[in-house]
């Protein structure tokens, strides 16, 4: 049972991902908003989400959001495209009004989509993402709502998250799978001039992705756009800003053991951190 909801007036901003990927977003957010407190939760015990059904991703995500609320967060960022694509809308429309209408959950697809207009000249955009995100059609739908003239071509990369989660993103073996999906995407549409990395794990594969993507094609990593958009959200929502504590602290939680989480988390963050294991 939730003991904190409605009682505490302020707390850290919750950042959630199925595993390590959200750390790439958190890093950029902390850079843009160093004064805020953050609480990161990675559901490493149940990752990957990208190959799971809508219902399962929704249930897992909701559980984690509730946990972050229990831990004192008033605002939670789903730093996971798969969760943003499959769970965000139901949580915002159905669950939040029941749980606590004053709390907020935001996703990362919208800020990414908003930035695409300025980047593409050919109006042909490629998307590399998990099978779940691709199947949800969230990116083409959101992009075409704002920019109907943009053609979006997607490629699902089911093996990329497991490669990253198992610390293989720099290995020679990873080249094979990176090249395969990049080639497949570009073969579907040779007018693509911008590729969205629509999974928060993929920035870890960026050196390899860059190797196989022609230089004239831009690659969009979400972190800086999400960070800019969150900063802007805080200006526009002073009532939520007042609910966020500002001591520049960040704590890390995982549903796996802390010993398992830490080595890979350091890889994502380039710094040593402390982490605690929690059960949901
Ligand atoms: N990091 C998540 C995303 O941005 C996906 C990881 C997973 O498949 O669990 O889509």
Same domain, 229 and 218: no
Contact in structure between 108 and 220 (CB atoms under 8 Å)? no
| Number of domains present in the structure of the chain | 2
The residue behind tokens 């901003």 is: 13
Phi-psi region of 105 (alpha: psi -120 to 50; beta: other; left: phi over 0): beta
The parent domain of residue 144 ranges over 110-222
Q: Note the pLDDT tens digit of each residue in 212-227.
A: 999 999 999 999 999 9
- Which CATH number covers residue 208? 3.40.50.1860
Q: Which atom of ligand 1 lies at the shortest distance from residue 129's CA? A: 10
Contact in structure between 160 and 201 (CB atoms under 8 Å)? yes
DSSP 3-state of 152: strand
Is 2 within a domain?
no
Between 3 and 164, the more confident residue is: 164
What's the whole-number mean pLDDT along residues 241-266? 94
Q: Note the pLDDT tens digit of each residue in 86-125.
A: 999 999 999 999 999 999 999 999 999 999 999 999 999 9
73 tagged catalytic: no
Same domain, 93 and 231: yes
- Residue 118 alpha carbon to ligand 1 centre in Å: 25
The catalytic residue among 80, 157, 244, 250 is 80
Q: Which atom of ligand 1 lies at the shortest distance from residue 200's CA? A: 4
The dihedral through the CA atoms of 164, 77, 57, 116 has a sign that is negative
Phi first, then psi, for residue 152 (nearest 5°) are -110, 125
Same domain, 118 and 182: yes
60 CB within 6 A, ligand 1: no
Helices (H), the chain: 22-32, 54-70, 81-86, 88-90, 96-99, 109-116, 131-136, 138-146, 160-165, 172-188, 206-212, 223-236, 238-241, 258-269
pLDDT > 80? residue 25: yes
């Amino acid at each position: 049972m939730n003991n904190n909801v409605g009682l505490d007036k302020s707390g850290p901003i919750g950042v959630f991902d199925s595993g390590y990927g959200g750390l790439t977003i958190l890093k950029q957010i902390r850079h843009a908003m160093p004064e805020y407190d953050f609480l990161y939760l990675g559901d490493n015990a149940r990752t990957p989400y990208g190959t799971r059904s809508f219902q399962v991703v929704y249930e897992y995500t909701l559980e984690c959001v509730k946990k972050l609320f229990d831990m004192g967060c008033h605002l939670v960022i789903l730093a996971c495209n798969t969760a943003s694509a499959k769970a965000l809308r139901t949580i915002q429309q159905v669950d939040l009004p029941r749980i606590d209408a004053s709390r907020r959950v935001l996703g990362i697809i919208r800020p990414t989509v908003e930035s695409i207009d300025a980047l593409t000249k050919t109006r042909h955009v490629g998307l590399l993402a998990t099978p779940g995100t691709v199947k949800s059609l969230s990116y083409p739908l959101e992009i075409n709502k704002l920019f109907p003239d943009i053609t979006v071509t997607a490629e699902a990369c089911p093996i990329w998250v497991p490669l990253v989660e198992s610390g293989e993103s720099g290995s020679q073996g990873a080249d094979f799978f990176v090249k395969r999906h990049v080639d497949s995407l570009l073969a579907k549409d040779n007018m693509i001039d911008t590729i969205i990395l629509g999974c928060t794990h993929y920035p870890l594969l960026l050196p390899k992705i860059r190797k196989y993507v022609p230089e004239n094609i831009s690659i969009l990593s979400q972190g800086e756009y999400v960070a800019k958009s969150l900063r802007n959200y805080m200006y526009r929502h002073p009532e939520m800003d007042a609910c966020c504590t500002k001591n520049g602290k960040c704590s890390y939680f995982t549903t796996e053991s802390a010993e398992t989480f830490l080595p890979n988390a350091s890889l994502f963050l380039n710094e040593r951190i402390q982490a605690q294991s929690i059960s949901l």
